Amino acid sequence: MESIGVVVNPIAGMGGRVGLKGTDGKLEEARRRGAEPRAPDRAREALRSLHRRAPDVTVYAAAGVMGERAARDAGYEPTVVYDPADRTDRSSPTASDPAAADTTAADTRAAVEALLECDVDLVLFVGGDGTAVDVAAVIEEGDGDTPMLGVPAGVKIYSSVFGVTPADTGRIAAEFDRVEPREVNDIDEDAYREGEVRTELRAVVTVPVAPAVQSGKQVSSGSVDSLAAGFAREVEPGRTYVFGPGSTVGAIERELGLDPSPLGVDVWRAGPEPDDGGAAGRGELLARDAAESDILEVLTDPVTIVVSPIGGQGFIFGRGNHQISPAVIRQADEIAVVAAGEKLDDIDSLRVDTDDEDVDDRLRGWLQVRTGRFTTRLVNVV
């Protein structure tokens, strides 16, 4: 690879920790809630990984926080091919504050068009599924052959065009020697916020192939009733439980008499004494569909975080549950991972990507995953 084009969606993922489950159409609300950008940091991590392996590659980038700054921080001297300030007479903040960046999907598409005009060998983008859709659309309208590869920064990642982590993505960009068709999928965020997952195939594009490129999300089915019943009977009186998104964890909440937010995070404290069914007390719902700040406000020791891996990918933190942030994880003395056995059959290992390497290191290693009323399976977190 002789040249690479870089485009960063600086606001990707900002809605995650503040409980918005995405940023599409919710940017002002995310800012009002104090959301902080994560895409620029992840862009730097990916490009530093690339620079360690391919320091002499020619880099073309969009201006400011849309790619230029991350490339310079990684050690490159990029050629700027697009600046959002040139599209209108507005004053572009892209050179300074990522959280205030007034960029749109139109800027992403315009930047990719400029990158393709430079005949780059790869378009490296930073964002989520929505950004992937924009990049793919421009490539399909252009030569249709330029490979694309995503650095995961969005709240939702249903497409199979992303590396597992930013560092993995940089390595893949530097070392790939073949490509294959992969799917770009997107999800209706308004429906997602209401607890309904509606995905749509938006494009099939060429993507570098490497083991660290994650597969698309696979939907797993099957009864989790026995798992939920077993977990509910063993809740500890007085313990605080942080329940992550997903149907498996939702089944546990329903077993405890709660109405779960299907794709949100709920916090519940078990009552002091077991009830007639054997589960600890009636308990108290402390927060429903909570943002990171809501969770931290109500946490009291001891704390258990309950999560289920994303099917086909294996992520337990860092995808779809950004509200369970490193600060929340640090307060927990127990991480409970639950999954039906058939879901684990399609997962070689569990993965974490919290934006905090110390927390990720703490979470790595062999972990007992509860698969039924009495059964567990030992799975490695990598």
Assess whether pLDDT exceeds 50 at residue 5.
yes
What tokens appear for 263 in the block? 């794709």
pLDDT-derived band at 293, boundaries 50, 70, 90? very high
- Once rounded to an integer, what is the mean pLDDT over residues 308-335? 92
Assess whether pLDDT exceeds 90 at residue 196.
no
Cα dihedral 31, 45, 117, 143 in deg (nearest 10): -100
> Looking at 50-64, 70-84, 151-165, 203-217, which range is the least confident one?
203-217
State pLDDT tens for residues 213-269. Answer: 765 554 333 357 888 988 998 999 999 999 999 889 999 999 999 999 878 999 999
pLDDT-derived band at 304, boundaries 50, 70, 90? very high
Q: 3-state SS of 13-78?
A: CCCCCCCCCCCCCCHHHHHHCCCCCCHHHHHHHHHHHHHHHCCCCEEEEECHHHEHHHHHHHCCCC
> Which fold is adopted by the domain 225-381?
Rossmann fold (3.40.50)
Q: What is the pLDDT of residue 158?
A: 79
pLDDT-derived band at 20, boundaries 50, 70, 90? very low
Higher pLDDT, 378 or 219: 378
Average pLDDT, rounded, for the chain: 84
> Looking at 38-52, 82-96, 148-162, 363-377, which range is the least confident one?
82-96
What tokens appear for 252 in the block? 């546990």
Assess whether pLDDT exceeds 60 at residue 381.
yes
What tokens appear for 245 in the block? 């998104």
Higher pLDDT, 11 or 228: 228
State pLDDT tens for residues 335-351. Answer: 999 998 878 887 889 99
Assess whether pLDDT exceeds 90 at residue 298.
yes
Sorted by where each begins, the domain ranges of the chain are 3-208, 225-381
Q: What is the pLDDT of residue 95?
A: 47
* Contacting residues for 308 by C-beta, under 8 A, at least 6 apart: 244, 246, 248, 249, 316, 337, 338, 339, 343
Q: What's the rounded Cα separation, in Å, for the pair 111 and 114? A: 5
Q: What is the pLDDT of residue 248?
A: 92
Q: What's the rounded Cα separation, in Å, for the pair 177 and 366? A: 32
